Structure 1
Amino acid sequence: MKSFAFVLLGLISAVVIGFGQDLSLAKWSYDEEQEKLSERIIIKFSHVVAENTPKGLAVDRFAQLVKAKTKGRVEVQVFPNSTLHSEKTEIPALVKGEIQMIAPAFSHLSGTIPQWAVLELPYVFRDQKDVDEAFRGEIGRMLFSTLNQSNMKGMAFWANGFKQITANRPMITPDDFYSQRIRIIPSEVLDAQFRTLHAIPVGSSFNDLYSMLASGKVDGEENTISNVYTKRLYQVQSHMTVSNHNYLGYAVIMNQSFWNKLPADIQKAIDEALTEATQFNNELSVSMNESQFEMLKEMRVMEIHEQTEEERAMWRQALQPVYDQFAPSIGKPLMDQIKELHKLPR
Structure 2
Amino acid sequence: MRSRLGIMIFIVIGLFTALVIGFQNDLLFTQLGYDAEQEGLKDRIVIRFSHVVAENTPKGLAAEHFSKLVSQKTHGRVEVQVFPNGILYSDTTELKALQDGDIQMIAPAVSNLSEVDPAWSALDLPYLFHDHAEVNQALSGKIGSLLFDTLSTHDMKGLSFWTSGFKQMTDNRNPLLSVADFADQRFRIIPSTVLAAQMRSLGATPVPLGFNEVYRELAAGRITGEENTISNIYSKRLYQVQRYMTLSNHGYLGYAVIMSKPFWNSLPADVQASIQEAMQETTAWSNQHTAELDKKDLALIQESQSMAIHVQTPAERAAWEAHLRPLYQQFAPDIGDALMQEIERLHQQRPRPK
TM superposition score normalised by structure 2? 0.90
CA shift, 1:31, in A, is 10
Task: Pick one of 135, 142, 160 that aligns with 2:139.
Answer: 135
Alignment match, 2:72 = 68
CA shift, 1:299, in A, is 3.3
Alignment match, 1:277 = 282
Q: What are the within-5 Å matches in structure 2 for residues 143-154 of structure 1?
A: 143-154=147-158
Task: Pick one of 225, 232, 254 that aligns with 1:249.
Answer: 254
The CA distance in 2 between the partners of 1:34 and 1:25, in whole Å, is 18
Match of 2:93, SS? helix
Q: Deviations over 1:230-255 (max 9, x none)?
A: 11111111110011111100000011
- Count of residue pairs brought into register by the alignment: 335
CA shift, 1:35, in A, is 4.8
The CA distance in 1 between the partners of 2:302 and 2:240, in whole Å, is 14
Which range is displaced more, 290-299 or 320-329? 290-299
The CA distance in 2 between the partners of 1:227 and 1:178, in whole Å, is 25
Is 1:314 aligned to residue 319 of structure 2? yes
Which range is displaced more, 185-194 or 281-290? 281-290
- The residue type equivalent to 2:315 in the other structure is E
The CA distance in 2 between the partners of 1:172 and 1:270, in whole Å, is 45
Is 1:117 aligned to residue 121 of structure 2? yes
Match of 1:194, SS? helix
Is 1:238 aligned to residue 243 of structure 2? yes
Identity of aligned residues (%): 53
Which range is displaced more, 230-239 or 297-306? 297-306
Q: What are the within-5 Å matches in structure 2 for residues 1-346 of structure 1?
A: 17-24=19-26, 35-168=39-172, 169-346=174-351
In the superposition, relative to structure 1, how do residues 17 and 136 fare at CA in structure 2: closer, same or farther (>3 Å)?
same
Q: Which runs of 5+ in 1 are unaligned?
A: 1-12
CA shift, 1:345, in A, is 3.1
Q: Deviations over 1:72-96 (max 9, x none)?
A: 1111111111111111211111122
- The residue type equivalent to 1:134 in the other structure is A
CA shift, 1:101, in A, is 0.4
CA contact (8 A) 1:48 1:85 kept: yes
The CA distance in 2 between the partners of 1:288 and 1:99, in whole Å, is 29
- The residue type equivalent to 1:59 in the other structure is A
Q: Deviations over 1:299-345 (max 9, x none)?
A: 33211111111111111121123212211110111011111111123
- The residue type equivalent to 1:246 in the other structure is G
- The residue type equivalent to 2:185 in the other structure is Q
The CA distance in 2 between the partners of 1:158 and 1:81, in whole Å, is 17
CA contact (8 A) 1:111 1:188 kept: no
In the superposition, relative to structure 1, how do residues 17 and 32 fare at CA in structure 2: closer, same or farther (>3 Å)?
farther
CA shift, 1:33, in A, is 6.6
The CA distance in 2 between the partners of 1:178 and 1:345, in whole Å, is 33
CA shift, 1:195, in A, is 0.6
Match of 2:23, SS? helix
- The residue type equivalent to 1:237 in the other structure is Q
Match of 1:88, SS? coil
- The residue type equivalent to 1:101 in the other structure is M
CA contact (8 A) 1:196 1:321 kept: no
In the superposition, relative to structure 1, how do residues 344 and 60 fare at CA in structure 2: closer, same or farther (>3 Å)?
same
Match of 2:207, SS? strand
Computed over aligned residues only, the root mean square deviation of the Cα atoms, in angstroms, reads 2.2
